Structure 1
Amino acid sequence: MSKHIVILGGGTGGTLAANRLRRGLGEQVRITVVDQDDEHVYQPGLLFVPFALAQPEDLVRSRPRQLRRGIEYHRSAVDHVDAEASRVRLADGTTLFYDALVIATGARLVPEETEGLTGPGWRETVHTFYDYAGAMALASALDEFTGGHLVVNVVDLPIKCPVAPLEFCFLADWYFTEQEIRDEVRITYVTPLDSAFTKPVAAKTLAGLLADKGIELVTEFNTGEVDGAGGRLVSYDGREVPFDLAVVVPMHSGASYVELSPGLGDEFGFVSVDPHTLQSTAYPDIFALGDAAGVPTSKAGSVTHFEGAVLARNVARYLAGRPLDPGFDGHTNCFIESGFHKAMLIDFNYDTEPLPGHFPAAAGLPLLRESRLNHLGKLMFSWLYWHSLLPGREIPGIAAEMPAAGKEFPAPAEH
């Protein structure tokens, strides 16, 4: 009897994992993908919707149609995972037994965790572009915005695509310049971090870019309340930031069923896994990748792609009774749109900061500086996403491990 691999989540991670496993194991295994709806949203595109740089309908495709032939698709929400019995209970009453379980149900927005966020002003003066409906509503709000104080606020970390809120600031600067009202708009970026970004080298560069564009930076602001009616953010220490239009990135958590499945995840609902093998720290037949995985790196699409190669290899090794490959090094690769048809690129892993140089080698894309080439790379990623990343194909010249070639490493300190 063939082994059964159940994959929870038909987004980026679940789709590419299913396709990689199907390509690698063929008819040896039965693969079932579970998701609660049929709409696969290209999430990086949501950033562009408010600025009319992407059409919302172009970002959505059918989930099952992204899966290779022979992969089963079951449409239902997940009720809970009974890890002790190696089975998943679905909301429609179905029980799926598994030999290996892959959790790829991503991260969900929990705006209700912040006082006032979904209260008066929500979808009027308070918006988010982190979901489809929010990006659509924000597009209308920006179209009607003629001046005032625009505040972009990250409530707490971790979040999906940590550079996206910064990108929104840069694109807003460009958008209002194109609208010839930039002098009428004050833009402020409000973050709980003590700098513009989590990585010091990149944070310095990004803070400089914010300053160059006249975007104010407010750090160490832990949002306790969003007062939509009064037009203000209030931090837990009592500081306030007034706004006319707020773009808020809500708190994130893992899928709700993780919290209902004893031993599966951490206090935020993210699945606890070994950061190098992506195997559950509690149950050897469970793996996780993408935003659902509790690993100390960015929740970004590139991370999911790099994890996918290692995860597929390790699920196959686990089923064959072989030692796992501790090959995931935290590799993260992010294009950062900076407006005016330019973008930056950063590339790093668990141990290496974003560094200047080029990616993936000395003759590649420039790192840590703006260029039109990087902007074109960002635009090209959409095609790669649908035609290479999701189908589980390798992208030529780009491996799961972070490349050292082309990077300008600092000289070792002398003792």
Structure 2
Amino acid sequence: MTKRIVILGGGTGGTLAANRLRRALGAECEITVVDRDDDHVYQPGLLFVPFGLAHADDLVRSRRRQLHDGVAYRDSGVLHVDVEADQVHLDDGGVLAYDVLIIATGARLVPEETDGLTGPGWMSKVFSFYDLAGATALARALRDFDGGRLVVNVVDLPIKCPVAPLEFCFLADWYFQERGIRDHVRLTYVTPLDAAFTKPFAARALAGMLQEKGIELVTEFNTGEVDGEAGKLISYDEREVEFDLAVVVPVHGGAECVERSQGLGDALGFVSADEHTLQSKVRENIFVIGDAAAIPTSKAGSVTHFEGEVLTRNVARFLAGEELDASFDGHTNCFIESGFGKALLIDFNYGTEPLPGHYPSAVGLPLLKESRLNHLGKLMFAWLYWHSLLPGRDLPGVSAAMPLAGKRLEAR
């Protein structure tokens, strides 16, 4: 009997999971991907739009055209999931029954959760680059900005691509130097963390870069209100940071359909899962991939790619009644644009923080070190995203498990 796999979300995780499963299982399964529109956005490219280094139109492609033949696409929002009946109820009135459900609904921006953020000044003095509309509007604002204090603020964690706000600071430093007005711009990075980043070794390196570039670092700032009219961030403990232009990374939450599904999500709308198998803690026939998962790793595209290998094996094993593969180790790597045509690379997992050395082996890209090669690697990733990652292909020499080869372990 043909098994039915329903995948909620046609973004990175949903697309690569569908394509990997189609290749692995063939006609044994009926695979359906569900999403509310046909616009697949290459989210890493949003960082470059405000600086004129990428164009919004080049970042969007058809969701259904990224899926292999034999994978069905349903263009509809999801009303809710009935986890007891193994059914997905759609906004268009349809109902999809499943044998396996994969949650790949990502994370959504919830700016309305912060007092004043979407009030006076929103999209004129206060922006976010985490969606196409915001990144495009911010590009216009930066072109018109001729001096003053530019504040980059992370309201709360978790967020998609945790290094992106730091990258924005570094690219802004470069951008204003290229325009010849850097001396007239005060750059400030405001974070709720007690350091520049979550991982101590990398945090020290990144804090040093901020200092070298003359970017002020404000830590342990928990934004409670954004007063766009007065140009102030106000923390819960009543500290204030003034700005002339604010770039805010809003609170993130899980998908609304997860929140509407009784028993499916946690308090933030993400789905709890085993951090090694990616099987949900809700029901055995529900798996989670990408930003939708409540597991202790970064919400980054590389994580989704590495998860895809393990998830595909585990869906196949679940359907065959076999023991699941508990090998996902939280592997994450991120290119960090540092400006002037250079970038850093960090690579880590649940148990090992970013270390110096090379990736993926002793002969490879330098880790925790600015280089032109890393910058080119980040640019090349866009091609790999569309032609290798989304189609569900393995990258030669790059596996789901974090490699230790090439890393300077004595630096721990």
Equivalent-residue separation in structure 2 for 1:262 and 1:351 (angstroms): 33
Partner of 1:189: 189
Q: 1:260 Cα shift? A: 1.4
2:17–2:392: 8 Å Cα contact kept in structure 1? Answer: yes
Q: Say which SS state the counterpart of residue 19 (structure 1) adopts.
A: helix
Partner of 2:125: 125
> What amino acid sits opposite 2:135 in the alignment?
A
Equivalent-residue separation in structure 1 for 2:45 and 2:120 (angstroms): 28
Partner of 2:21: 21
After the TM superposition, which residues 266-415 of structure 1 pair with which residues of structure 2 at under 5 Å, given as runs? 266-410=266-410
Equivalent-residue separation in structure 2 for 1:343 and 1:263 (angstroms): 42
Equivalent-residue separation in structure 2 for 1:395 and 1:133 (angstroms): 32
Q: What does the per-residue CA deviation read over 1:85-135, in whole Å, with 9 as the maximum and x for residues that have no partner?
A: 111101111100000000001000000000000000000000000001000
> What amino acid sits opposite 1:142 in the alignment?
L
Equivalent-residue separation in structure 1 for 2:273 and 2:265 (angstroms): 9
Q: 1:40 Cα shift? A: 0.1
Q: Say which SS state the counterpart of residue 25 (structure 2) adopts.
A: helix
Normalised by the size of structure 1, how large is the TM-score? 0.99
Equivalent-residue separation in structure 2 for 1:326 and 1:14 (angstroms): 20
Whether 1:176 aligns to 2:176 is yes
Q: What does the per-residue CA deviation read over 1:294-314, in whole Å, with 9 as the maximum and x for residues that have no partner?
A: 110100000000000100110
Equivalent-residue separation in structure 1 for 2:376 and 2:80 (angstroms): 42
Equivalent-residue separation in structure 2 for 1:115 and 1:232 (angstroms): 12
Q: 1:410 Cα shift? A: 2.2
> What amino acid sits opposite 1:359 in the alignment?
Y
Equivalent-residue separation in structure 1 for 2:411 and 2:149 (angstroms): 43
Partner of 1:75: 75
Equivalent-residue separation in structure 1 for 2:282 and 2:223 (angstroms): 34
2:108–2:255: 8 Å Cα contact kept in structure 1? Answer: yes
Q: 1:411 Cα shift? A: 7.1
Equivalent-residue separation in structure 2 for 1:388 and 1:218 (angstroms): 39
Equivalent-residue separation in structure 2 for 1:238 and 1:369 (angstroms): 37
Q: What does the per-residue CA deviation read over 1:143-175, in whole Å, with 9 as the maximum and x for residues that have no partner?
A: 100010000000000000000000000000000
2:38–2:63: 8 Å Cα contact kept in structure 1? Answer: yes
Equivalent-residue separation in structure 2 for 1:309 and 1:89 (angstroms): 28
Equivalent-residue separation in structure 1 for 2:410 and 2:89 (angstroms): 51
Percent identity over the alignment is 74
After the TM superposition, which residues 3-18 of structure 1 pair with which residues of structure 2 at under 5 Å, given as runs? 3-18=3-18
Q: What does the per-residue CA deviation read over 1:11-32, in whole Å, with 9 as the maximum and x for residues that have no partner?
A: 0000000000000001110000
Q: Say which SS state the counterpart of residue 376 (structure 1) adopts.
A: helix
After the TM superposition, which residues 150-165 of structure 1 pair with which residues of structure 2 at under 5 Å, given as runs? 150-165=150-165
Equivalent-residue separation in structure 2 for 1:217 and 1:394 (angstroms): 39
Partner of 1:207: 207
Equivalent-residue separation in structure 1 for 2:336 and 2:176 (angstroms): 19
Q: Which runs of 4+ in 1 moved over 6 A?
A: none
After the TM superposition, which residues 144-155 of structure 1 pair with which residues of structure 2 at under 5 Å, given as runs? 144-155=144-155
> What amino acid sits opposite 2:83 in the alignment?
A
Whether 1:252 aligns to 2:235 is no
Equivalent-residue separation in structure 2 for 1:22 and 1:87 (angstroms): 21
> What amino acid sits opposite 1:168 in the alignment?
F
Q: What does the per-residue CA deviation read over 1:17-56, in whole Å, with 9 as the maximum and x for residues that have no partner?
A: 0000000001110000000000000000000000000011
- List alignment gaps of at least 5 residues for structure 2: none
Aligned residues: 412
- List alignment gaps of at least 5 residues for structure 1: none
Partner of 1:217: 217
> What amino acid sits opposite 1:13 in the alignment?
G
Partner of 1:49: 49
Q: 1:327 Cα shift? A: 1.2
Q: Say which SS state the counterpart of residue 347 (structure 2) adopts.
A: strand
When the two chains are superposed, the root-mean-square deviation of aligned CA atoms in Å is 0.7
Equivalent-residue separation in structure 2 for 1:274 and 1:111 (angstroms): 29
Partner of 1:113: 113
Equivalent-residue separation in structure 2 for 1:159 and 1:190 (angstroms): 14
After the TM superposition, which residues 231-246 of structure 1 pair with which residues of structure 2 at under 5 Å, given as runs? 231-246=231-246
Q: Say which SS state the counterpart of residue 134 (structure 2) adopts.
A: helix
Q: 1:224 Cα shift? A: 0.3
Equivalent-residue separation in structure 2 for 1:141 and 1:308 (angstroms): 38
Partner of 1:58: 58
> What amino acid sits opposite 1:280 in the alignment?
S
